[in-house]
Amino acid sequence: MNDIHNSQPAIIADHIKQVYFGGNWTAVNLKDTLNGISWEMASRKVESFHSIAELVYHMNYFVTVLLKVLHGKPLQGNDAVSFDCPPINSQADWESLQKRVFAEVEEFADLVAALPEYRLWELVSDKKYGTYYRNIHGIVEHCHYHLGQIVLIKKYFLQDQ
């Protein structure tokens, strides 16, 4: 495929953008879901569940890790710190986190779209981490999973109002 718009990487990049910005099959996306969530709601925990802010940070953690790899840096990530969201103590903190997440995912999707197709089948690093294809699709699946949690937590909070 010579047309970048019909390449596997471009199609996958569309899936990334759709789960974050809309147009996916589920008709749910992160940007619209976060709309109307205050910093207090984002940082509030329901029982032992993670806060919305922690989930957003966690979802983006893996985008950040793979984004660095796409920029030619070594794979460096640690699941144990993937929920270590900086404190959200104001609306400015919450908006800053969202702005960073959406900027990074745009850059990530653009880099994925520009990948030569053969790179999808290369290992990201060590064999245990699998191919670029597996990791990129894993990010989309992971985002959908946690997006569902955010939707439910938001509904829980809104029923209290």
pTM of the model: 0.92
Q: Tally the domains of the chain.
A: 1
Neighbours of 84 (CB within 10 A): 11
CB atoms within 10 A of CB 1: 11
Structural domain containing residue 21: 4-159
The pLDDT averaged over each successive group of 10 residues in the chain (161 residues) is 70 96 91 96 93 98 96 92 96 98 98 95 89 95 96 89 64
* pLDDT tens-digit readout, 112-127: 999 999 999 999 988 8
Q: Measure the CA–CA gap between 126 and 14, rounded to whole angstroms.
A: 27
pLDDT tens, position by position, 86-98: 999 999 999 999 9
What CATH number is given to the structural domain containing 125? 1.20.120
